Amino acid sequence: MENNLNASFVIIGLVASVPNLNEDVWLSFTKQTLFLRPNVRRLVYMERVLDVNRSKFEASWNRSIFYLNTTGAMVRRDNDTEYSPIIYETDDKSYVLLDPSAYPILKSAIYAARDTGLFTLSPATRRANNAWTMGAYLAYYGPERDASSFSTAAELRQACLGYVATVLNVTEIFSRVLMRYASVANSKG
């Protein structure tokens, strides 16, 4: 978990320090820092988009914010008060403009990160490949601003610009922990 949190702070630093962040810079930085986060392969940056700005945001990308339905089809995101579409990612699959907040189980963790400034985790969910995963979220409030800059949840909510998110493969993490434990136990005899 510490590795995941540290990776999130490193990426918040990137977002805060590069005013013209683009996909090339994002991919270059995340590839060059992979050694710092051996258990965190998938990093994303999700922009916070209020409903009043949705049309302008979608026009700038020339596509709609979407989610994947139960059959895996891309579906335009229903209207909501705000959205959290992925705009940068490190995965081979392209989920740009996928909105994780379309899924209630992830939305609660995303909004908790926004309203508290804390690193939050979603409940574990099972993927199609039978792996259990969790979303981990850290809100971004702008350069040189963090949660301590605000005194209320309303102020945090107002200032939130986006989120750094990572995907934890819980199955893999616990498998590694159990292998380390077994290795230590075997070495002690």
pLDDT top residue among 84 and 125: 84
Local structure of residue 104 (DSSP, 8 states): H
pLDDT tens digits, 44-86: 899 999 999 999 999 999 999 999 998 889 999 999 999 999 9
What 3-state DSSP class applies to 165? strand
> Residue 138: phi, psi to the nearest 5?
-135, 125
pLDDT at residue 2, as a whole number: 62
Specify the pTM.
Answer: 0.84
Q: Residue 181 — pLDDT band, cuts 50, 70, 90?
A: low
pLDDT top residue among 3 and 36: 36
pLDDT tops 80 at residue 176: no
Query: How far is Cα 185 from Cα 152, in angstroms, rounded to an integer?
Result: 47
Task: Give strand pairing partners of 162.
Answer: 47, 140
CA distances from 91 to 88, 122, 157, 167 (A): 9, 19, 28, 10
Query: How far is Cα 75 from Cα 99, in angstroms, rounded to an integer?
Result: 11
pLDDT at residue 29, as a whole number: 87
Round the average pLDDT of the chain to a whole number and report it: 86
Going along the chain from its start, the domains and CATH numbers come out as 2-187 (3.30.450.350)
